[in-house]
Amino acid sequence: MMLDRLYQTVKPALFRQDPETVHDRVMAALDLLSRDPDKLDRIAAEPDPRLTVSLFGLDIPHPLGIAAGLDKNGVAFPALLALGFGHVEIGTVTPRPQEGNPKPRVFRLVEDRALINRMGFPGRGVSEVVAQAAPRKQSKMVVGCNIGPNKASVESGTATEDLVTGYRAMASMATWVTVNVSSPNTANLRSLQHKTALREMLTALNEERRSLVWRPLLVKISPDLEPAQLDDLIDVAIECQVDGLIATNTTISRPASLKSHLRDQTGGLSGPPVAALAVATVRRIAERTNGALPIIAAGGIETGADVVAAIEAGASLCQTYTGFIYRGLAMARLVGAEIIAELDRRGVSSIANLRS
Ligand SMILES: Cc1cc2nc3c(=O)[nH]c(=O)nc-3n(C[C@H](O)[C@H](O)[C@H](O)COP(=O)(O)O)c2cc1C
């Protein structure tokens, strides 16, 4: 596969540079590509119907999508979709622009195929993001919009207002809206996962959904919740008509298996070392809800086997961030081929039949 050979050739040079600098350059290239419909048509492959997944009344052409944080400003999603990903979640977008934490704030733990980041939601603010992203979104593109509060709003206790602002600005372009209450890099953000705060926030968002435009609403959760906290969160999500959970964000834990000397950097750890926590979270949600609440799995998903395992644990869709950094531009196609091989091995005709 040409894209794969290209990425494997340039990867050593990319990995010698600062991770965020490389990220910004790759996003700039994908931004350019996203503005060129002819080129997009040329790289887009015919999706394999055996990979189609149904969710929220849509047929989504590939079970693997891009997790929030990669295309924070919503400039690269047309190119990422053309590369074969089934969906892209843009954001996290905050109402007002903000800088995020001081650099460096992303670290590659190469020996662990992992990353640690403490970005802290840098971004252009929701008006600018929507102005750029909305005109590029064609109706068939599956684009989740991930919203979060500004740091100052969490500090002043007005996070809910920020989330309502985010929903209002993004809902009309969004296939679904995800509330990010699980980033470890904004102090106190994760306390919004607690029962009372979560119920208050979801009630405010439901009022906004009712009066504006009703989009599926998802909550993205941490892999670090205690079992009792997770159970409370699931119950509140059901009570407040949440349409799905994204499990999970990065972890602040540091598994003993980590080999990289960067393991003690502050921030959220992602990639294979978070996979066990993430899959356990998916499984617990599926069990507690008897499979009634859609789950999007994220956390260490790198291969077709990982996608199949997440779906068997109860997920409807999967997302990747760190895997994309290590596997590269051909990842969606490689994973698609791996899933098909796994289905063939098991004698299952399509991914939709995996759990039936
Ligand atoms: C550099 C970086 C930035 C991220 N930024 C966000 C973000 O803005 N919002 C969010 O909800 N998750 C963010 N995430 C978390 C990912 O979306 C994902 O949930 C997590 O990394 C686990 O998946 P992975 O192991 O495939 O990376 C970020 C992850 C990384 C590595």
* pLDDT-above-70 percentage for the chain: 100
pLDDT surpassing 70 at residue 356: no
* pLDDT-above-90 percentage for the chain: 96
**How far from the centroid of its chain's Cα atoms is residue 225's Cα?**
18
- Token pair of 81, please? 């979709």
User: Cβ(94)–Cβ(148) under 8 Å?
Assistant: yes
3-state secondary structure of 337: helix
For ligand 1, say whether the CB of 267 is within 6 Å of any of its atoms: no
What pLDDT was estimated at residue 46?
87
Sorted by sequence, the CB contacts under 8 Å of residue 22 that are 6+ apart come out as 14, 15
Nearest CA to ligand 1 atom 1: 117
Nearest CA to ligand 1 atom 12: 68
Query: What are the pLDDT digits (tens) for 129-143?
Result: 999 999 999 999 999
- Token pair of 355, please? 């759990």
Q: Give the position, in ligand 1's atom list, of the atom nearest the Cα of 272.
A: 25
Query: What are the pLDDT digits (tens) for 179-228?
Result: 999 999 998 999 998 999 999 999 999 999 999 999 999 999 999 999 99
- Best CA proximity match to 69, nearest among 83, 90, 84: 90
Q: Give the position, in ligand 1's atom list, of the atom nearest the Cα of 68.
A: 17
Alpha helix ranges (H) inside the chain: 2-15, 19-34, 37-43, 77-82, 126-133, 151-155, 159-170, 195-211, 227-239, 272-288, 304-313, 322-327, 331-346
What pLDDT was estimated at residue 73?
96
The rounded Å distance from CA 254 to ligand 1 centre is: 16
Query: What are the pLDDT digits (tens) for 63-116?
Result: 999 999 999 999 999 999 999 999 999 999 999 999 999 999 999 999 999 999
What pLDDT was estimated at residue 2?
84
- How open is the CA angle 66-52-319, to the nearest 5 degrees? 20
For ligand 1, say whether the CB of 65 is within 6 Å of any of its atoms: no
User: Cβ(337)–Cβ(304) under 8 Å?
Assistant: yes
User: CA–CA separation, 272 vs 302, rounded Å?
Assistant: 8
The rounded Å distance from CA 252 to ligand 1 centre is: 12
What pLDDT was estimated at residue 124?
96
Mean pLDDT over each residue of the chain, to the nearest integer: 96
Query: What are the pLDDT digits (tens) for 235-267?
Result: 999 999 999 999 999 999 999 999 999 999 999
User: Cβ(349)–Cβ(314) under 8 Å?
Assistant: no
For ligand 1, say whether the CB of 323 is within 6 Å of any of its atoms: yes
Query: What are the pLDDT digits (tens) for 16-50?
Result: 999 999 999 999 999 999 999 999 999 998 899 99
Pick one of 3.40.50.2300, 3.30.70.240, 3.20.20.70, 3.40.50.300 as the CATH number of 2-351: 3.20.20.70
User: CA–CA separation, 300 vs 270, rounded Å?
Assistant: 7
**Which residues belong to the active site?**
183
Give the relative orientation of helices 331-346 and 304-313 as an angle to the nearest 10 degrees: 60
The rounded Å distance from CA 349 to ligand 1 centre is: 32
Write down the pTM of the prediction: 0.98
What backbone torsions phi and psi does residue 198 show, to the nearest 5 degrees?
Answer: -65, -45
The rounded Å distance from CA 119 to ligand 1 centre is: 10
For ligand 1, say whether the CB of 274 is within 6 Å of any of its atoms: yes
User: CA–CA separation, 60 vs 353, rounded Å?
Assistant: 15
